[in-house]
Structure 1
Amino acid sequence: MTLKNVRNYIDGSWVEGAGTFTVVNPASRAQLAAVAASTADHVDGAVSAAHAAFATWRFTTVFQRATMLRSIADVVERREDELLLAITQEMGKTLGESRGEVQKLAQAFRYYAAEGERVVGRVVPNEASSITSLVTYEPVGVVAAITPWNYPLELIGWKLCAALAAGATIVVKPSEFSTLSAALLFECMDEAGLPAGVANLVFGRGIGPDLVGHPLVSKIAFTGSTATGNQIARSVHHAIPLSMELGGTCPMVVTEHADLQKAVSAAARRGFRNAGQICIAINRIYVHSSLYEEFLSRLAVAVDALVIGDGTEDGVDMGPLATEEGLAKARRHVDDALAHGARIVSARRDVPASGSFMCPAVLADCTPDMLVMNEETFGPVVGVSAFDSIDDALELANRPDSGLAAYAFTESLAEAHLLSARLDYGNVAINNPDPGIMNAPYGGRKGSGFGYEHGPEGLLGYLEIKHTRIAHALPGA
């Protein structure tokens, strides 16, 4: 594998850092890229470029911006194979999952191109006929976007596409573990002819505070850990909009009226896809006692059938974890559960020794005090426990620090409506494993963040509302 040189993209140019840091392929631990290490000066240059570009970009028409976003989507689709390989090499997911991510990125560009054209204001009546009130929407300004490594392009895209469609400009700081795919995306935008300064890219460890604290930043959009999100919220030195998606320990409830095979298939998919490294991964499962043992048996079979290996290889279902820290945390959750009386019902088998691989684990007889049931594992581990009544299941599912996504399985219409109403989560999926779609709002509550991505609400997060009240002469006066 050839070591790649990854640079910052500032004001339409590729810019070296103050030295470099190295990223590795988690499947082989081979060096993948030498990445520009940014300083506060690089961050200042990127924000200043975005601020200067905003003076022009904000006044482009929604149709001009839509044309640009569609042009970028065309380039992304043409370079799909290049982008998906970069994702798999830098964070480990399978090529099939990476392909889906790139396709969703292109979809986001096209969706927000169209959504931007649908933003309209309104005329508000006044008591006097000689006064007219106009409500209009204007772009927020310079956006600071900080994104994680688990969906390195899609999670940039949610912020980037909405911001550009709204007429805002942006500075993106990706995770240091997912740099190559981000640089390739900015190559696509450069190739499509995006004006200099409208979108900027900076890499590096420790520069997040310089970005979110910059006085020219008008909005912060963050996806990542709760701890980092809390730190960012505390550090903002003046009142600006924040949107944060902080994950959480997502539950699944399987009632006595569930289609058991549907529930098992969903648990296997949403619990172990991308090696469990998804903000909306199913972390803890509550199964009615009448179905409990059968559910465990079937889920163990489904998980044992997963093929573990390098995501670039054919037939692989689950690649490595992206980081050594993530691997250690997932193993710690398994060890803690076993030490407190849980049992593993999935097979313990060998996995490749060269990278950050882990045998997927289904843990039975879990109790609320176990780490797997009250911390986000972010790995290929699910905890399962039994319940006797829906009230008991809801009490267990509705943690005060978790509110991003919840899942439920029941063939009872009454139970479906009850679970929808009482699961205190921003996204609830009933009888399916996919709680989010591009044209509906996606966001958390409680400890899982605030603000929305996707849908019209995702675009509105990058717009400010203006009320203009105009006094004018009466007709004929």
Structure 2
Amino acid sequence: MDTPASQHPVQDDAAAQTRTTQTRTTPSRATPSRQRIDALLAATPTDLFINGQWRQAAAGASFAVEDPATGETLTRVASADETDALSAMDAAAEAQDSWARTPSRVRAEILRRGFDLVQDHAEELALLMTLEMGKPLAQSRGEVSYGGEFLRWFSEEAVRDHGRYADTPEGNLRMLITRKPVGPCLLITPWNFPLAMATRKVAPALAAGCTMILKPAALTPLTSLYFTALMSEAGLPGGVLNVLPTDSPASISGPLMADPRLRKISFTGSTAVGKQLMKQATENVLRTSMELGGNGPLIVFEDADLDKAVAGAMAAKLRNMGEACTAANRVLVQESVAEEFIAKLAQRMSALQVGSGLEDGVDVGPLIDAKACTSVAELVDDAVRRGAEVVVGGQRGDGPGHFFAPTLLRNVSPEARVVREEIFGPVAPVLTFSTEDEAVAMANATEYGLASYVFTENISRGLRIGDRLDFGLLGLNVGVISNAAAPFGGVKQSGLGREGGAEGIAEYTSTQYVGIESPWSG
């Protein structure tokens, strides 16, 4: 690793919070030097991680990881194939029984040491994320804090995963209800939050007693590989966490999902890919958790605090360059305040600085690749052809890198693709409504149901609207609501299952009922 941290005893919450706060508030704001970047890349693993060992791909294949701000190759990473996948499955299956029988306190302390190591290496992780994904360093640092919290949260949940013991109503039996680890899992993570999506899956699986195979996105594997090295340093036994980067996902997901030893798949990504994986999962009746696409509405009522609503819209729309399933895809504003809201939002968006996420003062980094830029440009062009007006932005950047200007659209047709499809870019289409019923109908007019946002100073109205919205998440007068202690997930074609919170560990357990003869039955 770059600057290895020695293992250290689990610390109390106050000390750990002090460490986290120090990490957040004292990093250098200077643009990282080429020397520092090269040293970090040289220290970051680029091989597969199977049975506690770093190894090259069986076929010797590799793929390039690029910097989306420049298009330049950062490094090359080993590319796993079916042979590697089955080796990882062997390791996970072999380790499953001993890991399941490992006392929950031991599992908890490994997770807590992992949390501490993530805090120790926060700057390295943040820099890796910015290099391979593009987001500004400040946002990468925020993801380290958020992602690390899943390790701390599930270290605490590991020792509280209780069953129950009770008499049957008839009194003839006593019921022993236990929760057991579901078994080896396949965890497939996306490119947009390279650390948080890994910790959100790995931490509850470890806490529950499951072994796993992690497949990070080919666009951003470096953060996951660095994180894996930290978890190994934290004391994770060989075979418990196996990591397979690859630029041919089907070559490993297919064989793994056909293997009867695999018992669960957890996937975060597009709805189209999720549907295909769910079809494959039926063959072996695998447990599935799916966190899929989104088309989140952000609703602003006439009684909203408009400054608060604009701040919420900026956070919900432009965090991560809009490349988030929780992004506010559509901004719905009540007619009487639409002009004022648009003017305030335009002022904020036009002031944003676009550039490399490595540079101090940059608010919006590049999109992940050229394909993403083209997709966003096509959505904007379609909206304009249908009558939309570009208030701010609307164009791709010049020169190298995959930049797209923060864009505000008004007078957007409900039939525009930018309203119906997930944007995954810094584009905010504004539509207007007149009544509550109309707002709800517009918001629910999508096959997706992940995140939604409502701004109103009338809390009764906010809760009333929330009850009518078909979404798994609701931000009421806030634009960012994700938290390790809260259940995250959607309805309809946004997926099934929940990650985070007390619900998160249940996704990795199965329930067993043991009926015991009552001592009073004779």
Give the TM-score band, short-chain normalised: over 0.9
- Structure 2 distance, partners of 1:129, 1:259, is 58
Aligned to 1:142: 184
**Which AA in structure 2 matches 1:162?**
P
1:216 aligns with 2:261: yes
TM superposition shift of 1:85:
0.7
- TM-score, length of structure 2 as denominator length: 0.89
- Structure 2 distance, partners of 1:80, 1:185, is 10
State the SS of the aligned residue for 1:300.
Answer: helix
**Which AA in structure 2 matches 1:446?**
K
Q: 2:78 aligns with which of 36, 41, 50?
A: 36
Aligned to 2:503: 457
Contact 2:377–2:396 (CA under 8 A) maintained in structure 1 = no
Q: 2:491 aligns with which of 445, 449, 452?
A: 445
Post-superposition CA distance 1:70-127 (Å, at most 9, x none): 1111111111111111100000001111111111222111100101111111112125
Contact 1:33–1:180 (CA under 8 A) maintained in structure 2 = no
**Which AA in structure 2 matches 1:259?**
D
TM superposition shift of 1:393:
1.0
* Cα separation, partners in 2 of 1:78 and 1:110, compared to 1, 3 Å: same
What percent identity do the matched residue pairs reach?
Answer: 38
- Structure 1 distance, partners of 2:239, 2:335, is 58
TM superposition shift of 1:247:
2.4
* Cα separation, partners in 2 of 1:130 and 1:396, compared to 1, 3 Å: closer
Q: 1:242 aligns with which of 277, 283, 288?
A: 288
Aligned to 1:285: 331
State the SS of the aligned residue for 1:58.
Answer: helix
Larger CA deviation: 166-175 vs 408-417: 408-417
Q: 1:174 aligns with which of 216, 239, 243?
A: 216
Aligned to 1:379: 425
Q: 2:109 aligns with which of 41, 59, 67?
A: 67
Aligned to 2:24: none
Contact 2:420–2:446 (CA under 8 A) maintained in structure 1 = no
- Structure 2 distance, partners of 1:326, 1:224, is 15
State the SS of the aligned residue for 2:197.
Answer: helix
TM superposition shift of 1:433:
0.6
**Which AA in structure 2 matches 1:8?**
L
* Cα separation, partners in 2 of 1:466 and 1:343, compared to 1, 3 Å: same
**Which AA in structure 2 matches 1:395?**
A
Aligned to 1:80: 122
**Which AA in structure 1 matches 2:272?**
A
TM superposition shift of 1:414:
2.7
1:403 aligns with 2:449: yes
1:9 aligns with 2:49: yes
Aligned to 1:264: 310
Question: What are the residue-to-residue correspondences of 1:392-431 with 2, within 5 Å?
Answer: 392-431=438-477
Post-superposition CA distance 1:117-165 (Å, at most 9, x none): 1111111212565632100110010010000000011001111000000
TM superposition shift of 1:373:
0.3
- Structure 1 distance, partners of 2:431, 2:113, is 49
Contact 1:351–1:357 (CA under 8 A) maintained in structure 2 = yes
**Which AA in structure 2 matches 1:364?**
R
Aligned to 2:12: none
Post-superposition CA distance 1:165-223 (Å, at most 9, x none): 00011100011001111110011011112100000100112333233333211011000
**Which AA in structure 2 matches 1:78?**
D
**Which AA in structure 1 matches 2:311?**
S
Contact 1:152–1:178 (CA under 8 A) maintained in structure 2 = yes
TM superposition shift of 1:293:
1.2
Aligned to 2:31: none
Contact 2:395–2:404 (CA under 8 A) maintained in structure 1 = no
- Structure 1 distance, partners of 2:126, 2:363, is 16
Task: Specify every segment of 5 or more residues in structure 1 that has no aligned partner in the other structure, as ranges.
Answer: none
Q: 1:231 aligns with which of 276, 285, 303?
A: 276
TM superposition shift of 1:347:
4.3
- Structure 1 distance, partners of 2:506, 2:394, is 48
Aligned to 2:13: none
State the SS of the aligned residue for 2:223.
Answer: helix
Contact 1:80–1:99 (CA under 8 A) maintained in structure 2 = yes
Aligned to 1:329: 375
- Structure 2 distance, partners of 1:379, 1:349, is 12
- Structure 2 distance, partners of 1:129, 1:389, is 56
State the SS of the aligned residue for 1:262.
Answer: helix
**Which AA in structure 2 matches 1:226?**
T
Contact 2:315–2:480 (CA under 8 A) maintained in structure 1 = no
State the SS of the aligned residue for 1:103.
Answer: helix
TM superposition shift of 1:352:
5.2
* Cα separation, partners in 2 of 1:230 and 1:182, compared to 1, 3 Å: same
State the SS of the aligned residue for 2:365.
Answer: coil
TM superposition shift of 1:248:
1.0
Contact 1:276–1:380 (CA under 8 A) maintained in structure 2 = yes
Contact 1:309–1:352 (CA under 8 A) maintained in structure 2 = no
**Which AA in structure 1 matches 2:267?**
F
Contact 1:400–1:446 (CA under 8 A) maintained in structure 2 = no
Post-superposition CA distance 1:278-325 (Å, at most 9, x none): 110011011011011111111111111111110011011110001221
**Which AA in structure 1 matches 2:192?**
N
Contact 1:402–1:448 (CA under 8 A) maintained in structure 2 = yes
**Which AA in structure 2 matches 1:98?**
S
State the SS of the aligned residue for 1:418.
Answer: helix
Superposition RMSD on alpha carbons, in Å? Answer: 1.6
**Which AA in structure 1 matches 2:379?**
H
Aligned to 2:146: 104
* Cα separation, partners in 2 of 1:473 and 1:33, compared to 1, 3 Å: same
TM superposition shift of 1:453:
0.3
- Structure 1 distance, partners of 2:454, 2:446, is 18
* Cα separation, partners in 2 of 1:425 and 1:181, compared to 1, 3 Å: same
**Which AA in structure 2 matches 1:212?**
M
Contact 2:189–2:198 (CA under 8 A) maintained in structure 1 = yes
